[in-house]
A and B are shown apart, each in its own frame.
Chain A
């Protein structure tokens, strides 16, 4: 992939980070284009936060390079950081300031020119639903409002790249919907990376998804690709007169068969093939008494568990 592509806002190559002997992230490649929302998914301790800390210049990678809008983050950190908005896992809020003062400080730190500061702060507050909270001390706000202030802080300087570490944690369902809408809006013109372990969130807002496990990317595709992946993977077949399990295994495109009792089998497909039709034909010619063929209720959760736990067992 060409790293000078102007639409490419984040380009990381061979990113690794270890803490002493513990390897947190290994050889991670990551690309995000303008107008794209990338979901970074993974169980706790998969290396999501470490990756985000590296992408925002909070942590120096042990190896690899990062380019933000073509600017090398390690060579020219201040120029690159000006393009980034970051919401860490714990929002970096000063409890003694009120919301407006705090956002004003964030805008100044991100070098928003004086004349543009007041409108930028007002805009960020409006987008995050904070217009009525401007005079309130951050320390007195609820967790949900504090999270919104954290998001407002990340977007106040209109960055090209927005990196959000678990942005919807601690919010109530209505607020979650608001924030998702906001992320979608932001993703139209900018690039957003968001980490989460809430799977419906990824489906709702992301264009692409990377699933991390033990510091490595185990799955990287579009949301549509992820849906195909889950839809096409397994079916449950129910037969009145089941044949031997080997007969099922012999069908083209079947990777694995597991008997789950009473003539029912879970059939796992080989990658890229869909032997459903062949199964039905074989059931017809051999008179197995097929009465049900259902895609296994494989939700995103199943895919997630398969990818992150399957790695361990296989």
Chain B
């Protein structure tokens, strides 16, 4: 049932010009960044060769591309998710799902999976660029795997937050702004809050604050380091906001 709803969401995304626009813009920005860095890398390659253990193309070209992709997702995900619940409420099509023998959890998870399938496509396109270099150079596949996983986890967190934002209002544009605001607040405040808590020696609240620091959790995997706490925090963020979205949808049935 989750897959049925996910399929419907994916269809709806591709039926709207917005999704295609987002794909195009993201690809143009990232493609330009990638080529620029590749160019820079080729310029300094001879100097790098003189170092004892020079950083490779994966570190110098692929990693920054993934970091840019993370920044672009911050804008793109709220836009992609804004319609998912808000517009269904505005057009009163949510009734079809609510009247069907489907639980609230299945509805939210279905929408989340549909959105993630689309985001997976973006991640694959990002990954494809460094992979194209495989014929001409040696790539660090471990680091690439880490970067891909980090970007997917980040996307999952953003998607859950944006989906929750979409459940708060019947105006898609307002939903996008709320989602964007929430993510941005977490990116800025989550990190500084964690740092200042740690500076005071409050380890437990600091560890808790890390759940709300998506970029901080992106970073270790982005360096090719498996930090199980950062991964757990990313998953917790996504799960937490999905739970909030489910409760919110159920609340509408109760409150009307």
List 6 interface pairs A-B (beta carbons < 8 Å), by A numbering. A56-B99, A58-B253, A60-B254, A81-B99, A81-B102, A109-B5
Q: Complex formed: what's the CA distance from A56 to B93 in Å?
A: 15
Residue from A59, A90, A96 in contact with B92 in the complex, judged by beta carbons closer than 8 Å: A90
Q: How many residues of A contact B (CB 8 A)?
A: 29
- B202 CB to nearest chain A CB (Å): 41
Is A291 part of the contact surface with B, judged by Cβ < 8 Å? Answer: no
Q: Complex formed: what's the CA distance from A126 to B92 in Å?
A: 26
In the bound complex, do residue B94 and residue A92 qualify as a contact, i.e. CB atoms below 8 Å apart? yes
In the bound complex, do residue A19 and residue B256 qualify as a contact, i.e. CB atoms below 8 Å apart? yes
Is A106 part of the contact surface with B, judged by Cβ < 8 Å? Answer: yes
In the bound complex, do residue A109 and residue B253 qualify as a contact, i.e. CB atoms below 8 Å apart? no
In the bound complex, do residue A109 and residue B95 qualify as a contact, i.e. CB atoms below 8 Å apart? no
In the bound complex, do residue A78 and residue B4 qualify as a contact, i.e. CB atoms below 8 Å apart? no
Q: Complex formed: what's the CA distance from A92 to B5 in Å?
A: 15
Residues from chain A with a CB closer than 8 A to the CB of B94 are 92
Is B28 part of the contact surface with A, judged by Cβ < 8 Å? Answer: no
In the bound complex, do residue A109 and residue B11 qualify as a contact, i.e. CB atoms below 8 Å apart? no
In the bound complex, do residue B254 and residue A110 qualify as a contact, i.e. CB atoms below 8 Å apart? no
In the bound complex, do residue B101 and residue A92 qualify as a contact, i.e. CB atoms below 8 Å apart? no
Is A57 part of the contact surface with B, judged by Cβ < 8 Å? Answer: yes
Is B96 part of the contact surface with A, judged by Cβ < 8 Å? Answer: yes
Residues from chain A with a CB closer than 8 A to the CB of B4 are 105, 108-109
In the bound complex, do residue B95 and residue A88 qualify as a contact, i.e. CB atoms below 8 Å apart? yes
A interface residues (Cβ-Cβ under 8 A, vs B): 17, 19, 56-60, 77-82, 84, 86, 88, 90, 92-94, 96-97, 105-106, 108-111, 153
Residue of B nearest to A19 (CB): B256
In the bound complex, do residue B96 and residue A106 qualify as a contact, i.e. CB atoms below 8 Å apart? yes
In the bound complex, do residue A94 and residue B102 qualify as a contact, i.e. CB atoms below 8 Å apart? no
Residue of B nearest to A88 (CB): B95
Residues from chain A with a CB closer than 8 A to the CB of B101 are 77-82, 109-111
Residue from B5, B16, B93, B100 in contact with A110 in the complex, judged by beta carbons closer than 8 Å: B100
In the bound complex, do residue B103 and residue A78 qualify as a contact, i.e. CB atoms below 8 Å apart? yes
- A198 CB to nearest chain B CB (Å): 22
- B159 CB to nearest chain A CB (Å): 21
Q: A17-B256, A88-B92 given as contacts; is B16 within 8 A of A57 (CB)?
A: no
In the bound complex, do residue B11 and residue A84 qualify as a contact, i.e. CB atoms below 8 Å apart? no
Q: A58-B253, A96-B12 given as contacts; is B93 within 8 A of A109 (CB)?
A: no
Q: Complex formed: what's the CA distance from A17 to B1 in Å?
A: 30
Is B97 part of the contact surface with A, judged by Cβ < 8 Å? Answer: yes
Q: Complex formed: what's the CA distance from A110 to B96 in Å?
A: 10
Q: Complex formed: what's the CA distance from A96 to B95 in Å?
A: 17
Q: A56-B99, A109-B100 given as contacts; is B254 within 8 A of A97 (CB)?
A: no
Q: Complex formed: what's the CA distance from A58 to B8 in Å?
A: 21
In the bound complex, do residue A105 and residue B8 qualify as a contact, i.e. CB atoms below 8 Å apart? yes
In the bound complex, do residue B253 and residue A59 qualify as a contact, i.e. CB atoms below 8 Å apart? yes
In the bound complex, do residue A58 and residue B95 qualify as a contact, i.e. CB atoms below 8 Å apart? yes
Beyond A92-B95, A97-B11, A110-B101, 14 additional contacts (C-beta under 8 Å) are A17-B256, A56-B99, A58-B95, A60-B253, A78-B102, A78-B103, A81-B101, A86-B99, A88-B99, A90-B92, A92-B92, A92-B94, A93-B93, A106-B96
Residues from chain A with a CB closer than 8 A to the CB of B93 are 92-94
- B197 CB to nearest chain A CB (Å): 40
Is B15 part of the contact surface with A, judged by Cβ < 8 Å? Answer: yes
- B4 CB to nearest chain A CB (Å): 5
Residues from chain A with a CB closer than 8 A to the CB of B16 are 96
Is B98 part of the contact surface with A, judged by Cβ < 8 Å? Answer: yes
Residues from chain A with a CB closer than 8 A to the CB of B11 are 96-97
**Closest 8 pairs between A and B when the two form their complex, measured CB to CB:** A96-B15, A92-B96, A109-B100, A82-B101, A78-B101, A92-B93, A81-B101, A92-B95
Q: Complex formed: what's the CA distance from A115 to B92 in Å?
A: 30
Interface centre among B5, B91, B100, B103 (most CB of A within 10 A): B100
- B104 CB to nearest chain A CB (Å): 9
Q: Complex formed: what's the CA distance from A94 to B97 in Å?
A: 12
Q: A78-B103, A105-B4 given as contacts; is B15 within 8 A of A58 (CB)?
A: no
- B49 CB to nearest chain A CB (Å): 54
